[in-house]
Amino acid sequence: MKKAALITGASSGIGAATAIEFAKNGYFVYLMGRDKERLQEVALRCRSGATLLSCDITDVAAVQKRLDEMLSSKIHKIEVLVNNAGIYETHTTETGTDEIWKRQFEVNLFAPIRIVRTLFPYFKEHGGGSIVNISSTLGLRPNGPTAAYSASKAAMVNWTHSLAVEGGPANIRANCLCPGIVDTPIHSFHSLETTQKTAALEKMKSLQPLGRIGTPEDVARAAYFFGSELSSWTTGAIVPVDGGINL
C-alpha cells in the first residue's frame, strides 16, 4: 500500500504547504478542510495524488464519515496525521465570552482529539503512526489579548506529551510544532494591500532574532521531518518554529 498522510486545515497556509511538502516526498495526501474549491487547488499541486475530505471540522458526524471513508481504503496506508486546523480570535479574559472560549477549544483541541481517537486503533493495527500537532508559541508564552487561543494551544502542547506516552508502546509517535508569526490567512496583515503589508512586515522584523516572519513552507518542512521516518526516534518533542521570537 502507498504511504499516506492526513492534513487538516489543508485549504490554505501551513496546511496547504504541509500537504504539498508530503506529496513532494512521495506521500498520498488526504486534504481535510471546509473550502472544497481551495482544497481542489491544493490537490492539483500534490503530484503524488490527493483525496479531498471536505467538511467542517466541528461537525462531528461529518468528520467521522470522512474518516471512515478514508480508513476503508485498502490502497493507502495512513502513516501520518497533521493536526493543523485552527482559529485565532483576540480578546481578554474579561471580554471573552463563553462562546469564544468554546469555539477556540472546539476547533483547536477537541476536533484534533476526536480525529486521534479514531486513528489510534488504525495505527495500532498497522504497526504505528506519527502525529504532528500544530500549536503556537502563544501556547508556550501567552502575549496580548489571546487568552482562549493561548489556553487551547497550551492544552495541545500538554496533550502531545500524553499522546507520546500512551502511543509509544504501539510505535505511535506524537510531536508538536509551535509556529511564531507566519504569513497565513489567520493573521489580518496577510490580506493587506501590498504597500501596507510590506510596512507591517517591516515592523515585525525586529521581533524575530532571525529578522523575518515565517512562511508556511518553513513550518511545512518541520512538519514533514517530524511526521516522516526522518524523526523515527523522536516523540514528545515540543519545537518552536518561530525565527527565535519565543526567546
Active site residues: 149
Pairing mode, if any, of strands 76-83 and 50-54? unpaired
Separation between Cα atoms, residue 42 and residue 78, nearest integer Å = 19
How far, in Å, CA of 55 to CA of 129, rounded?
23
Question: 72 CB contacts (<8 Å, ≥6 apart)?
Answer: none
- Rama region for 230: left / alpha / beta (φ>0; ψ in -120 to 50; rest): alpha
Instruction: Output the nine-digit C-alpha cell for 169.
Output: 508502546
